[in-house]
Homo-oligomer: A and B are copies of this chain.
Amino acid sequence: MQTFQHPRQMREHLDALRHQGHTIALVPTMGALHEGHLQLVDEAARHGDTVLVSIFVNPTQFGPNEDFSRYPRDLESDRAKLQQRGAHLIFAPTPELMYPEGAATRVCVQHLTAHLCGPLRPGHFDGVATVVTQLFHIAGPCTAIFGQKDFQQLAVIRRLVRDLHMPVHIVAHPTVRDSDGLALSSRNAYLSTDERQRALCIPAALQQVHDAFHSGIRTPARLTQCATSHIAPRVDAVDYISLVCPDTLAPLRDDIPQHHSALLAVAVRIGTTRLIDNILLSTAPSPVFPRSAQGTKPPRPTSPC
């Protein structure tokens, strides 16, 4: 398993593989890999002959008061996990290599970023759209795998690829959860034992909303209130608990129509840690609540809505 640092060398290596007939599947990450990332690697192996994992803590997607400097970084540990999981190549550039001197280009996706995390993290999605565009240019035509936990990021990247006619196929992978139900995230490492215990209110509330939806409740205010009543007392701040259209991410005001789906998205702070999670509410027959890493279900909330 080879590691590349220079964008040009990475691209040349991939071009040579493509010339031999290989297809490429890319898993963009910021490192600090957990089982959620590794399931993306498994998914990638189903879509490409060569599985490429990028590891880059992208400075332009962090705000000035966010956790760029303390974001967990451990390339050696990440490399060992990827080796074991059968990834073929790692691309781990430096900020100086990704953003050359005088860099002045930004890719912006409007509308979708006016909702949910967008207004709370100014510039975040421009940073994401820019680095993902860079990575797609370096990786070349490929399939790229993203997790559904970052639902808004996934929506932004799908839009970006469509609007700019990028030769990239996007695959979404369901959120992976720990045995206690908490969505896997590199930021979970920041949580104390008590904070982590409190964080379990999030998957419990999502399960509760899921059950309420499937019991026939379609009113946005009732579904949102169901989540809020479980979450708000247990966290230090609620950034948002919103029921939105999965396509536009705009808040839903009216009852969810028959055969339409909705996304309940949550962002909270527990201590100094910001956590996000979401659940897609759909009457489609596919299983709705995402799988857990260990195959167990998230805990039931202690009281119904």
Binding site for B on A (CB under 8 A): 7, 11, 98-100, 102-112, 129-130, 133-134, 137-138, 140-141, 159-160, 162-167
Chain B residues whose C-beta falls within 8 Å of the C-beta of A106 in the assembled complex? 107-108, 110
Could you name 10 residue pairs across A and B whose Cβ atoms are closer than 8 Å? A99-B163, A103-B162, A104-B109, A105-B110, A105-B163, A130-B164, A134-B164, A134-B165, A137-B166, A140-B141
Contact B104–A163 (Cβ < 8 Å): yes
Residue of A7, A107, A165 most packed against chain B (CB within 10 A):
A165
Contact B165–A140 (Cβ < 8 Å): no
Give chain B nearest CB distance to A54 CB in angstroms. Answer: 12
Residue of A138, A160, A163 most packed against chain B (CB within 10 A):
A163
Chain B residues whose C-beta falls within 8 Å of the C-beta of A166 in the assembled complex? 137
Q: Which of B98, B140, B162, B165 contacts A11 (CB 8 A)?
A: B165
Give chain B nearest CB distance to A20 CB in angstroms. Answer: 13
Chain B residues whose C-beta falls within 8 Å of the C-beta of A98 in the assembled complex? 165
Chain B residues whose C-beta falls within 8 Å of the C-beta of A102 in the assembled complex? 111, 159
- Given A105-B160, A160-B105, A162-B100, A167-B137 contact (CB < 8 Å): yes
Contact B163–A100 (Cβ < 8 Å): yes
- Given A99-B163, A137-B165, A166-B137, A107-B107 contact (CB < 8 Å): yes
Nearest 10 pairs of A and B residues by beta carbon: A105-B163, A104-B110, A137-B165, A104-B111, A103-B163, A7-B165, A106-B108, A105-B109, A137-B166, A134-B165
